[in-house]
């Protein structure tokens, strides 16, 4: 169960990152008076960042797991 525990928060990290991007974009749209341009841009950029971070963390965990198996 410990092995899977470190993966449980990754989904929430992705959701929070994307929602933060959408919120930021909406806030910028309200300030500038534009029609959802910044919401779309920030949503896209923050989604890419969330996916990149997810992949980076999973690869890191996988590398650690492989090193543990190699040392046994």
Ranges of each domain in the chain: 2-67
pLDDT band at residue 72 under the 50/70/90 scheme: low
Q: pTM for this structure?
A: 0.82
| pLDDT tens-place string over residues 19-69 | 999 999 999 999 999 999 999 999 999 999 999 999 999 999 889 888 888
pLDDT at 6 (0 to 100)? 76
d(C-alpha 54, C-alpha 13), whole Å: 8
d(C-alpha 16, C-alpha 30), whole Å: 21
d(C-alpha 47, C-alpha 49), whole Å: 5
């Amino acid at each position: 169960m410990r092995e899977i525990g470190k993966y449980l928060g990754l989904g929430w990290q992705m959701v929070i990152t994307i929602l933060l991007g959408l919120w930021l974009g909406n806030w910028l749209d309200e300030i500038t008076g534009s029609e959802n341009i910044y919401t779309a841009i920030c949503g896209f950029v923050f989604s890419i960042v969330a996916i990149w971070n997810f992949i980076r963390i999973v690869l890191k965990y996988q590398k650690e797991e492989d090193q543990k198996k190699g040392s046994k």
